[in-house]
Amino acid sequence: MKYFSDEKNRQNLGVRLHIMFVDAEELGKFGSEAFVQQFLSERNSKKTAMQENSLGMINLDTVAGGDILYVHGPDSREENVKNSPGANVSQHLRDQIYAISQQRSIKLKDPSQQLELHPMFEPNGYKVGETGDFSDHAPFYKKAKIPVANIEATNFSVYSPAGEYDGYSMTNNPNAW
């Protein structure tokens, strides 16, 4: 971020870069909803400038707290798609970021640099490498209809107190609890 805060470093970027900070989506996705709404308010039954020109949205969510650093795409299960008509549930941005992390880990000869795709734990649960709409990426793929990727540190193999593999417990480390 510091690099791109200098105007001369943005000159060859080729795209407009928005860096936003929002907090506590557990209380509501107020900041990300407001950001998306600001750009959608100019709509007259056509795509807005944000929708036309956005390559995607990358959400960095709890990137330091869990055992494993994952990259997710949006939930493409039929139920979610039915409840959010027109939502952009493409996995393309997730797949690009995942591929870059693979290349980086090979180049650095360090497997820890590779992001993970969580497996499917429950028969009707999230598909491999997909996550729900409970974080700040949701308004971007559901309302603005742009591609998203969600990066977070957690551990989906921890069976939570809620009785499911939901990623909320984040770690097997006994010192965390």
Per-residue exposure over 50-67, b if at least 16 CB sit within 10 Å of its own CB, e if not: bbeebebbbbebeeeebb
pLDDT at 63: 67
Nearest to 115 by CA among 160, 158, 70, 83: 70
In this structure, what DSSP letter does residue 84 have? S
pLDDT digits (tens, 9 = 90+) for 29-62: 888 888 888 877 665 557 777 777 788 899 888 7
What does the pLDDT look like over 93-145, one tens digit per residue? 999 999 999 999 999 999 989 999 988 888 888 899 998 888 889 999 998 89
Rounded CA Rg of the chain: 17
Residue by residue, DSSP assigns 48-64 as -HHHHH---EEEEESTT
pLDDT at 69 > cutoff 70:
yes
- The residue ranges of every structural domain in the chain are 47-156
Q: At residue 139, what is the residue type?
A: P
- 112: which DSSP letter? G
CA distances from 30 to 13, 21, 78 (A): 29, 11, 26
String of b and e for 10-43 (b: at least 16 CB within 10 Å)? eeeeeeeeeeeeeeebeeebebbbebbeebbeee
Model confidence, pTM: 0.82
DSSP, collapsed to helix, strand or coil, labels residue 69 as strand
Amino acid 65: pLDDT: 77
